[in-house]
Amino acid sequence: MTVRLYYDDSALTTFDAVVEACTPLGDSYDVRLDRTAFYPTSGGQPNDIGHLGGRTVVDVVDHGDGIAHLVDGPLEPGTSVRGEIDGARRRDHREQHSGQHVLSAALLRTAGIDTVGFHLGRDVSTIDLDREATPAEIEAAEAEANRLVRENLPVVVRYADATDADALGLRRAPKKAGLLRIVDIEGVDRSACGGTHVARTGEIGLVAVIGAEKVRGGTRLQFVCGGRAEQAFREVRARLADAARTLGVGPADVPVHVARLAEANRRLERAVTAMQEELAGLRAPLWRADAAGIGPWRLVAREVDDDRAAALKGMAQMVVREPGYVVVVVGRGRPAPVVVARSTDVGLDAGAFVRRMVDAHGGRGGGRPELAQGGVEGEAAAVLAWAAGQIERLAREAAPG
C-alpha cells in the first residue's frame, strides 16, 4: 500500500521514496513507490506531473491499493529516488479544487442548490448543479464565495470513519466505506475528498464564474480561481481595450456603442432584405424568359454573385411562382451555396436532388420537395452543368408517352 503524502501535506512538491517495482508498459514504465506525493487522477482532479529519479512523470494512476507512476525510463527497484512535482500545476489545482468547495458551499448557502458533479479542466473547471440556477442566484453565490475567500478561513484535513458520516455534517454523502479523508473549511464546508487543497481560503485568490449552460435539467457552471481568474481578467481587459480603440471610445462606453452598432446593423439588414426582394422581383421575368425548355419543364440555372442563402432562396422562389419551372441557383463561395426550387406542378423532389448533388460534389444540404438548399464543393459552372444534365434526364423521364 503506497503512503499518500499529499493527504497530509498538499503543498509538498519534493520528496524521497524507495522504488518497489518497475514494469515496462508500452512506451513508458509503471513505477511503484513505498510512498509518494504525486497526486493521481481521481475525484475530478487531474494528476500531477514532474520528475522521478530524473525521469519524466507523464501520468499518475490510482489502482486503489497502489499508485502507478508512468515514467519515460526505467528505475531500479530497491533504490531511493527523489520526486519533484511541477509546483505551478500543483498550486493551480489546489486553487481550483478549494475554490470549487467554496463555490459549492456558497450555492448551497444562498440558493439551496446542490453540486452533483465536478471537473477540473486544463483551462476552465466546471460544476454540475442539481437544478437550473438563475443569473441572480449565480451572481449571489459568486459574491458569497469571494466573501468566504476574503475571510481567509483555515482549510483543515481530518479523518473519520464512514459510519459516522451522518454525525459529521458532510455536504454530500460519502461514496465509499471505511476511513474517510475530510476536507473541512471552518464553518463553511465539510466534504469527503482526496484532492489537494490550499491551507487557507485566502490562497484561492478569486472565484469567478465565467459561464453557465443548461445540462440534463440542471446547470453547468464554468469557473476559474486564483491565477486562472487573474489571467481571465487580463484577457477580458485586453479585449475590452481593443474594442474601445476600434470604436474610438473609452472602455466604459463600449457597451452603449456596441448596442448602437447592433441596431444600425439590424436596420441595414432589413433594408438589404427589402432590396433583395425587389431585385428578385425584377429578375424573375428575365430569368423566366431565358429559361431552357426541357421536356415538360423549363429550367433556370444561374450563377449569381452572392453568398447568402436567403438571397438565393428569394430569387428562386420568385421564379417558381408560375407553373412549370425548375430553378437551380449557385452563389459564390467555398462551399458554394446552392438553392433548388420547383413550381408546384413539377414532379421533382428538390430535397432529394440537393442530396444527390452533395453526394456527387461533396458538401451538405437537404430540404423539402419544393425547396432545398445546401453548400457544395467544386466550381459553380461545373455544378450547374451537372445539375442541368441531371434535370434534363429527369424531365425526359417525366415527359408523357
- Note the pLDDT of residue 307: 67
**Residue 243 phi/psi, 5° resolution?**
-65, -40
Enumerate the domain spans of the chain: 3-85, 91-234, 278-398
Whether CATH 3.30.980.10 fits 91-234: yes
**Residue 2 phi/psi, 5° resolution?**
-75, 130
First-to-last C-alpha distance (Å) of the chain: 87
Omega before 335 within 30 of 0, i.e. cis: yes
CATH class of 3-85: mainly beta
- Note the pLDDT of residue 258: 93
In our burial notation (b when 16+ CB lie closer than 10 A, e otherwise), range 80-111 reads: ebebbbbeebbbbbbbbbbbbbbbbbbbbbbb
Q: What 3 state SS string does 266-314 have?
A: HHHHHHHHHHHHHHHHHHHHHHHHCCEEECCEEEEEEECCCCCHHHHHH
Distance CA 39, CA 72 (A): 18
- Note the pLDDT of residue 335: 85
User: What is the pLDDT tens value at each position of the chain, 401 positions in all?
Assistant: 899 999 999 999 999 999 999 999 999 999 999 999 999 999 889 999 999 999 999 999 999 889 999 999 999 999 999 999 999 999 999 999 999 999 999 999 999 999 999 999 999 999 999 999 999 999 999 999 999 999 999 999 999 888 877 778 888 877 778 889 999 999 999 999 999 999 999 999 999 999 999 998 999 999 999 999 999 999 999 999 999 999 999 999 999 999 999 999 999 988 887 887 777 777 888 889 888 888 889 999 888 877 677 778 888 888 999 999 999 988 877 888 899 999 999 989 999 999 998 998 899 999 999 999 999 888 888 888 898 888 888 888 877 65
- Note the pLDDT of residue 168: 80
Distance CA 100, CA 98 (A): 5
CATH class of 278-398: alpha beta
- Note the pLDDT of residue 401: 56
Query: Rounded to whole angstroms, what are the CA distances from 300 to 25, 184, 308, 352?
Result: 65, 75, 19, 18
Distance CA 101, CA 171 (A): 10
* Strand order across the 297-303 sheet: 292-294, 297-303, 325-330, 336-342, 371-376, 363-367
